[in-house]
Amino acid sequence: MKEAMFYEKLKDNKVRCHLCGWDYVLPRGCIIPPGKTGVCGVRKNISGTLYSLVYDKISSTAVHEVERKPLYHFAPGSLAYSICTQGCNWKCKYCQNWQLSQGEIIGEAVPPEELVGRAKARGCQGLSYTFTEPTIFYELTYDTAKMAHKEGLYNTYVTNGYISPEPIKKIAPYLDAVAVNFKGSGDEEFLRNYIGIPSSEPVYRALKEFKKNNIHIEITNLLVPQVGDSMEKVEKLINWIKENLGVETPVHFLRFFPHHKVLDLPPTPIETLESAYKIAKESGMQYVYLGNVPNERNNTYCPNCGVLLIKRGIMETIKIYLQDSICPECGEKINIKGVKWIK
């Protein structure tokens, strides 16, 4: 265990966690009595002190192309040592990794310095905190990210964005990129029924903070048939991204597949993804992808002259045709970050 960051002590040995976006109006955060955990299940009040129960409890690791996060515009073609612990601050009924996000606390004791060493030994250019929600194992990501930067490695979050501004500011010097995952375009009815949260407002707030701290941002939007595939909501989300993050922000529309407790809905039709793609492109978004289906929509083209810049398969880079984030054909500046980590 390790004492948690971002909490306050209250009367009667209770604590209030300030890490994620719960109860975002006033005040935010879980109020946790002694002996209990917060919504995430891995931050526990022990005699008036809040502890992370998963600081060194690594439950899954893998070496992945960074495109699988998906991050298409950050260090393309590089490898990320991907890690997680148990727990999550969302309770998605269709979660693909529910045994990790909603299962009991298990894992291998691996300290930050060993995680960084493993990443280097496996030929990775960086680390990705993923599979479950990295917010809830924040202390581990923070300590590891600092060590990773000292060794020349990058750090990325794959996150639901339910994180408060102060933790973002704290880790910002060491966090290079985030893939922020919307579900059902952030529709509140969908969030209440299938995730158990009241609003996407904390996610919008976090995105503004990531942007303010110059962290590379990519957005995914999982479209769920019948209950989370409204094109009106897609357009609303795209307009928010355009106005607050910029037209150069990469957007990935993802296909839903039935899993866990949601087995009565079909996979998302490709036509639904294509409709969302059309809305985003017609709104002026420069980089729009259909991330988890075989499709030419995975390629990156220059928004000015249309020349092919990066050819991809499904969440992997096949060929890069540009250098230093500049289109070789017309000289257009391309929103590609992490050039120093490109192999």
pLDDT tens-digit series, residues 332-343: 999 999 988 876
Q: What percent of the chain has pLDDT over 90?
A: 84
295 pLDDT band (50/70/90 cuts)?
confident
CATH 3.20.20.70 residue window(s) in the chain: 57-297
Q: Is the pLDDT of residue 129 over 60?
A: yes
Separation CA 35–CA 48 (nearest Å): 9
Separation CA 303–CA 237 (nearest Å): 21
CATH superfamily of 57-297: Aldolase class I (3.20.20.70)
What does the pLDDT read at residue 26?
A: 38
What does the pLDDT read at residue 25?
A: 46
292 pLDDT band (50/70/90 cuts)?
confident
Tell me phi and psi for residue 161, to 5 degrees: 80, 10
When the pLDDT of each residue in the chain is averaged and rounded to a whole number, the result is 93
Q: Average the pLDDT over 3-16 and give the result.
A: 95
Q: Is the pLDDT of residue 308 over 50?
A: yes
What does the pLDDT read at residue 343?
A: 65
How far are the Cα atoms of 69, 89, 92, 199, 285 from residue 189, in angstroms, in the given order? 26, 18, 13, 9, 26
